[in-house]
A and B are shown apart, each in its own frame.
Chain A
Amino acid sequence: MDRDLVALLGFVGMFVLMALRVPIGVAMGIVGVLGFGVLTGMGPALNLLGNVPLSVLTDYNLLVIPMFILMGAFASHSGMSRELFDAGRAWFGHRRGGLAYAGIAACGGFAAINGSSVATAATMSQVALPEMRRAGYEPGFSAGLIAAGGTLGIMIPPSTILVLYGIMTEVDIAQLFAAGLLPGVLGVLFYVALVQWIAIRHPQRVPLGEPHTWAERFATLKNLWAVLLLFLFVLGGIYGGLFTVQEASGVGATGTLLIGMARGRLRWPQIRASLVDALRVSSGIMMIVVGAFLFGYFLTITQFTQNAVDWLVNLPVGAYGVLAIVMVGYFILGAVMDELAMILLTVPIVFPAMTQLGFDPVWFGVIVVMAVTFGMICPPVGMNVFVINSIARDIPLTRIYAGTMPFIAVDLVRLVVLCAFPGIALWLPRVLGL
């Protein structure tokens, strides 16, 4: 059979299975194996089905996924997420939209001690969302803010998406982490600006909070030492040569555990809950990684990948034209598809094209994270929105999506800014001498 046709049928089959609510990893995996079988015979395809799970699930490079998630689980179960939010509330709570600022700040802070967007959104929808609603914030807006704030989890280091990108492209992960920090901070600032704008235009949507005394404010800062220490220790250790990025994830998880135990907040029930949470989240992710690898090998032998790269590079629209097309493509794919699977399938195609067109590989890593960001909060399939909906069952999906819209708009602005000024991403890695 014609290889392009097989590849096309593969894509169609994958989307149909996904629509049938077949687990995403299974949908990609089964189509990958069958497609591989059509082109090379079922024997090799079945062997692929044995090789890939073993080699993916024991890939040392992927250790960061369970470990940075475990670090976040320990941090959350030992109350660090609440401390972040309380500090934000003490400092900004008196202003109009104060709890919104506090929520954004807490998302940004929690992002610095875990590597996952969904985990950040889930944690903050348990900590910040109930408080915001109690204070009279519009539920859709509050949930939208947490969904968007959650995406900071993969921009501000550590970040599982940047690690995956680094592994796939052999771009230095330490450089990628450094490159993500300022765009992440920029995200915080843009969200703050958005809340400010809403506070002026629609004051009824964001109520005033209660003022806190200076003594109360400084008291909350005292609790933040643990978060700050962990962030500086993990990144300092990576840049100071104490450990590799992979090791940093395990060391960070252990450090968070020890701090939690020392403060008397992590006993066996909390530790067990953290471990089980981390296992569930990382198993869910790794099933998709396995499926994406199977589907990816299938695409490789159809030579679709190579043809797509050639096609992209030779489009007569200039480098920035291609970049624009790629971003629109990501926007569409991200809307309907799981973001992790999207990255695993597209980066092998898009990355060579982008580097051939002269774009910086580290900068493009940050752009890929932006692409994922849109997908996570964009209807109809937005993972962060699903997660918040599953925790706050009484806020309908449509309302949360309405709430994310303004944030998508400012994220678009941020994307344009990052394209116009790549230095925002590339300055820090350069200063750090990476």
Chain B
Amino acid sequence: QDKPTELKLAHWVPANHLLAQTGFIPWGKSIEQASGGSIKVAIFPAQQLGKAPDHYDMARDGIAQVTFVNPGYQAGRFPIIAAGELPFLVDKPGPASKALDAWYRQYAEREMKDVKVCLTHLHVGTFHAKDKAITDPAQIKGMKIRPANGTVGQMVNVLGGTSVQVSAPEARDALSKGVADAITFPWNSISSFGIDKVTKFHTDMRLYAAVFVWAMNKDWYNGLSANQKKVMDDHCNNEWAAKVGAAWGDAEDAGREKLVAAGHTIVPMTSAQIETWRQAVAPVYDRWVDTAAKTGVDARKALADLRAELQKTGGAY
């Protein structure tokens, strides 16, 4: 008989968030079932156990057993996984999450060595602007943009814009008052945060991705029975990464249709235009290679590997 144990799962999105409904809650239920109830899952949403940027440390320190981490919240701490955030790299969130997860497993041990990385996934976002659709990189010069993460912030700076730092709930307000002119966000969050009231112009392209890691406390995992370990291994695999990535990411992408229905201006991009963008953001890639190389990995090869993996799963943009 396995010793009963509690898995505290801490995250920072609201309790009824899409990711909670399609990810955390079913994942927890499935673990309870597979373990025959010997692993009891208690979910702590909405930063109840700590601030969003602290979630990596919280898993490491055993404050919770599994935590939801956005590595982009701690600039420079996880330079390798930041590859997943690079602009114009990924397309469909499901396949792209599958590729990112498979690719990152070989680096996780070195970059996130204080925890056991359970799974990795991403969602995709683009520009949403107040007054005019952003179609050309030259437009960014002089614009005030609320970036989704540090990599997007770098891109905005490279293109001559300024980044405005406000929390996601304050973003609507910042836009409506003109503190910011545009925001980078995934599609459905535009409606769920009420930002559809203040941004009417959307660029239909795969501008950036936000990457996420589910981190597990090592000591807790090592203390499990063989049986329980297997349950956790079965829930910390590439299949779950793809499943969670698809469930949340596709739901975000589906938000685009809501905006179409509401009569928003959604500007499609030609492949020539995307090529212009790719060239304009090339310095962001160079910077990633420089930073990642400092950790001792062959950064160019790592990037090529990630691209190859994305091609394989069909998640490349």
Contacts and interface: CB of A to CB of B under 8 A. Distances in A.
A and B interact: yes
Contact of B166 (A242, A244, A301): A244
Interface stretch (A24-32, A41-49, A124-132, A371-379): A41-49
A297 interface: yes
Interface stretch (B20-28, B50-58, B206-214): B50-58
Contacts of A170: 169
Contacts of B63: 40, 44, 47-48, 51, 297
Interface in B151-168: 165-167
Contact of A48 (B61, B174, B179): B61
Interface in B43-77: 44, 48-51, 53-54, 57-58, 61-63
Contact of B62 (A43, A60, A239, A240): A43
A47 B61 contact: yes
Contacts of B62: 40-41, 43-44, 47
B51 A59 contact: yes
B178 interface: yes
Contacts of B250: none
Contact of A60 (B165, B172, B177, B178): B165
* Most B Cβ at <10 Å: residue of A55, A239, A241: A241
Interface residues of A, number: 30
B167 A61 contact: yes
A242 B179 CA distance: 6
Contacts of B173: 172, 174, 434
Given A170-B169, A174-B173, A239-B177, A43 B61 contact: yes
Contacts of B177: 174, 238-241
A60 B164 CA distance: 13
Interface in B83-141: none
Given A297-B49, A297-B50, A300-B49, A51 B165 contact: no
A11 interface: no
A59 B53 CA distance: 11
Interface string A234-247: 00001111111000
Interface string B170-213: 10111011110000000000000000000000000000000000
Nearest to B172: A172
Nearest to A296: B48
A43 B165 CA distance: 34
Contacts of A238: 177
A59 B58 CA distance: 17
A170 B170 CA distance: 8
Contact of A301 (B8, B167, B169, B176): B8
Interface in A8-31: none
Contact of B49 (A59, A172, A241, A301): A301
Interface in B1-27: 8
A51 B48 contact: no
A52 B57 CA distance: 11
Nearest to B61: A47
Nearest to A168: B47
Interface in A223-257: 238-244
B5 to A, nearest CB: 12
Contacts of A240: 177-178
A55 B51 contact: yes
Interface string A389-420: 00000000000000000000000000000000
A97 B201 CA distance: 60
Contacts of B57: 47, 51
Nearest to A240: B177
B50 A244 contact: no
A304 B205 CA distance: 46
Nearest to B166: A244
A51 B169 contact: no
A43 B167 CA distance: 31
Nearest to A238: B177
* Most B Cβ at <10 Å: residue of A44, A59, A297, A303: A44
A52 B61 CA distance: 13
Contact of B61 (A51, A55, A305, A348): A51
B288 to A, nearest CB: 26
A172 B170 contact: yes
A305 B63 CA distance: 17
Contacts of B48: 297, 300, 305, 348
A243 B179 contact: yes
A68 to B, nearest CB: 17
Interface string A354-389: 000000000000000000000000000000000000
A60 B169 CA distance: 15
Contacts of B49: 297, 300-301
Nearest to B174: A244
* Most A Cβ at <10 Å: residue of B61, B165, B172: B61
B44 A51 contact: no
A244 B169 CA distance: 13
Nearest to B169: A170
Given A59-B51, A300-B48, 13 more contacts: A47-B57, A48-B50, A170-B169, A172-B170, A173-B170, A174-B177, A241-B178, A241-B179, A244-B170, A244-B174, A297-B50, A297-B63, A300-B44
25 contacts: A41-B62, A43-B62, A47-B57, A47-B61, A51-B57, A51-B61, A51-B63, A55-B53, A55-B54, A172-B169, A174-B173, A174-B177, A238-B177, A240-B177, A241-B178, A244-B179, A297-B48, A297-B63, A300-B44, A300-B49, A301-B44, A301-B49, A303-B42, A305-B48, A434-B173
Q: List the 6 shortest-distance A-B pairs measured between CB atoms, nearest first.
A: A241-B177, A47-B61, A241-B178, A44-B62, A170-B169, A44-B63
